[in-house]
Every structure is written in C-alpha cells, then in structure tokens.
Amino acid sequence: MRIAVVAGGVGGSKFLWGLAQEVGEESLSAIVNTGDDIELHGLAISPDVDIVTYTLAGLVDTDKGWGFAGDTFHCMEVLAKYGQPAWFKLGDRDLGTHLFRTQALRQGRRPTEVADAIRRALGVRVRVLPMTDDPVTTHILVGDGPIRHLHFQEYLVQRGAVDEIRGIEYRGSARAHPSPEVLAALREAEAIFLAPSNPVASIGPILAVPGIRDCLRRSQAPIVAISPVVGGQSLKGPTDKFLGWAKVEVSPMGVARLYDSALDGLDGMLIDRADAGEAARIEELGIRVRMEGIVMRGPEDKRRVARAAVKFVEEL
C-alpha cells in the first residue's frame, strides 16, 4: 500500500519510523512542514525535514528528538565567543547538513532536490518531501501591548514558548505551491495519515498551502489522523497552547473537528484508550474511531501505533 504521511518534526518522525518498520520504507512518502525553517549564521536550516530524515536513518538523538546522536557543539561555542546568537544549537555534524543545503540552494537546486540528496546519502528510502519549494514561515504574534512578530523558532526555542499567543501567521502560504513530488505522492497514495504532530504549528502550515489542502480534499484515499492529544494533554511540547489559541478543545474530539472542517471530511481518527469516552462523540461527526495505546516512547510503541494505524486504514 502506498502511504503519504503529513508530518511535523518529532511526533511525525516517530510515527514514520514505526511505519517504515511495519510496511517498509519504499511505500512511504513524508510531506514535511517547512514553516519552522530558519536562516541562522547565513545557513538554511530545515529542522522538521532534518528531524524526519535523521530519525529514519537511525541517526537522530532520541533523547532530544532532533540533531545527530552523539553530536558535539564546538562550533557553537566559537560562534558564541564572537557574540553570535547561540540559542539554536547546531551540532558540529548537523552543521554539515546545513552547509550542504545552503550551498546546493545557492547553486539553484530546489529544497525538494536537496532534501532528496540528503536522505539518499543517509540511506533513507522513504521519500522525504518538503511541503513546498516556496518560502513559508510560521510567525507567532505575542505581546500584551504592541504586538511582536516572532519567528516560530524564536517563540519555541529562544523564548521557551512562554508568551501568550495572540496570533499565528503562515507567511507566504497563500502564494505557495506544492512541489510536483508532493502532488504525485498525494495522488498516488492509497492511504493518507496526519501524523501526531502539533495540528496548528506543524500540520497547520502544510494544510495552509492551497494546492495541498485542495488535493487532500479531493483525495479518494482514506485520510486518518493520529491524535496528538492523550487524556487532555498534548503528547509533546506546547501543542495545547496552540490549540487553546485556535479555540480548539485540547482533546481528540477538538483535533478531529479541526481536521474535519479543514479537509471537508476526515475518514478516521486513531485515539488513545485513555480517551475511550470521546469515541462516540467523534463518530457522531461521521469519523470512524480506532483505539490503541498511542504514546510512543520506545521502538515497540512506535511500531504498535503504526501497525494499528495501517490495520485501521485497511479496514476503512
């Protein structure tokens, strides 16, 4: 079965890793958020694309969820000595990726081509596709008086997501087009999963690209979301804060409703057994529900969630 997965960084990569073990890498395409992309020290950094690639390559630092395992940060120490911003920790090995990406983009290669070169070089057979080759940047609006516009990484990493969210902009998304590779992956897919990533900050920028949203709306393939919320709490990071801003209930039901309206119909939702009480309410929306333990800590959890998702979609 050919599967397309719409994914952010850490949550998306864990689910993709499990899927790769269960169905094999060749049948998978990952359509990855690039709203988090940032330029720092003159380098083009694409965190979610790298997280997905490193995870599938078995090279990621599984404690942090990003960067290469065992990386060192000597270059950052030198940059800090020169008074350069050092809040976004780029490992010495990781810098190799950013140097390569920056140089290749300057030579005129598309982000999709560069991501493809990187994943192939690292031995990944899943097609890792940036959501678009056009620039899209997620900005978080904060501030009690005058509104400040923060880049997503400034909000999340530099300031630790402490600010109250006043607004979110997916800058450039309205003018962005999906790449031919993304369109092909979506059209060929026999099943589409929305990974357990932040619905507003990670999946939101992808669905904000009109050509992707339209393609998903028209898709004949079943679309199944894996809930990023368990027992009223987000699986990772400040997802609840983002859902709160979007006036979405921090529950599988809230996320189901959000996706259902964004896609003009969601086919299925995989939720945690802890949320069994919500199943009937979600099914009232016409969305089929499957329950499983969906918290992914170790490799066996990731495989179990992936197995449940595949079985569910096969039965839809």
- Contacting residues toward ligand FO1, per CB under 6 A: 8-10, 36, 47-48, 50-51, 66-67, 88-90, 94, 153, 156-157, 202
Please report how close the Cβ of residue 222 comes to ligand FO1 at its closest, in angstroms. 26
- Choose between 139 and 288: whose C-beta lies nearer to ligand FO1: 139
Smaller CB separation from ligand FO1, 85 or 180: 85
Pick 36 or 133: Cβ nearer ligand FO1: 36
Long-range contacts of 307-313 (CB under 8 A, 24+ apart): 307/18, 307/22, 308/270, 309/15, 309/19, 309/193, 309/224, 309/226, 309/270, 310/1, 310/3, 310/19, 310/22, 310/23, 310/191, 312/224, 312/268, 312/270, 312/288, 313/191, 313/193, 313/222, 313/224, 313/268
Q: Which is nearer to ligand FO1, 41 or 125 (CB)?
A: 41
In sequence order, what are the residues at sequence separation of 6 or more whose Cβ sits closer than 8 angstroms to the Cβ of residue 108? none
Question: Which residue is closest to ligand FO1 by CB?
Answer: 9
Nearer Cβ to ligand FO1 (242/259): 242
Residue 236 beta carbon to ligand FO1: minimum distance, rounded to whole angstroms: 9
Closest distance of CB 311 from ligand FO1, Å: 28
Do the Cβ atoms of 153 and 36 come closer than 8 Å?
yes
Distance CA 271, CA 225 (A): 9
Nearer to ligand FO1, 290 or 302 (CB): 302
Q: How many CB atoms lie within 10 A of CB 23?
A: 18
What's the min distance (Å) between Cβ of 118 and ligand FO1?
12
Virtual torsion, Cα 4, 90, 101, 158, nearest 10 deg: 70
State how far the Cα of 186 lies from the Cα of 119, in Å rounded to an integer.
Answer: 20
Cβ 1 to ligand FO1 shortest distance, Å: 27
| Long-range contacts from 77-81, C-beta under 8 angstroms, 24+ separation | 79/41
Q: Which is nearer to ligand FO1, 219 or 227 (CB)?
A: 227
CB of 160 to ligand FO1, least distance (A): 9
Calpha distance 6→28 (Å, rounded): 11
Residue 153 beta carbon to ligand FO1: minimum distance, rounded to whole angstroms: 5
94 or 275: CB nearest ligand FO1: 94
How much helix, strand and coil, in percent to the nearest 5, is found in the chain? 45, 20, 35
- For the CB of residue 227, give the shortest distance to ligand FO1 in the complex, in Å: 17
